[in-house]
Structures are given as structure tokens and as C-alpha cells.
Amino acid sequence: MFTKPFEGYIIRMASKGIQSKIESDHVYVTAKAGEVWNDFVWYCIEHNYAGIENMALIPGTVGASPYRILVPMALN
């Protein structure tokens, strides 16, 4: 959010893709920054990767959503 005029460039990451890897009893899920956050959550749910399902419906992309939502929560 800008509170005054901004002169410069804004770069939006639009790369998409989700990959997962299972090693022993761990699952590693990687999502590119332009992936829609809710699509990422649903990918995890559909593959039975538990732990992120309570973070569904946060608007935005993987690269931006966690920062916009979680950082302010952590600062309180």
C-alpha cells in the first residue's frame, strides 16, 4: 500500500508451478512466487499434505500472501 506517489518500477512475479518431494517421513513442497496462494493450499490438501489447510482463502500469490498476512501478525 502506498501512502504517497511512487516514482519507480513495480515488479510482479508471475511464474507459476508447484512441486513436491517426499523423503523418508518428510514432504517438501515448493511453489513459485506467482502461484495463487489458495491454489497452493488446495494442492497440499489434495495430496494429503497436512498443516497448511487453515491458511486457505488468503488472497494473493505465494510470493506476497504470507508476507502481507503473517508478518503483521508476528509483529503484534
Q: Contact at 8 Å (CB) between 44 and 53?
A: yes
State whether residue 23 is helix, strand or coil: strand
Q: Return the DSSP state at 72.
A: H
Q: Contact at 8 Å (CB) between 40 and 62?
A: yes
Q: What is the pLDDT of residues 33-44, one digit of tens each?
A: 999 999 999 999
pLDDT of residue 67: 62
Q: What is the pLDDT of residues 12-67, one digit of tens each?
A: 888 999 999 999 989 999 999 999 999 999 999 999 998 888 888 888 888 886 66
pLDDT of residue 54: 85
State whether residue 38 is helix, strand or coil: helix
Q: What is the rounded distance in angstroms from the CA atom of residue 48 to the CA atom of residue 43? A: 9
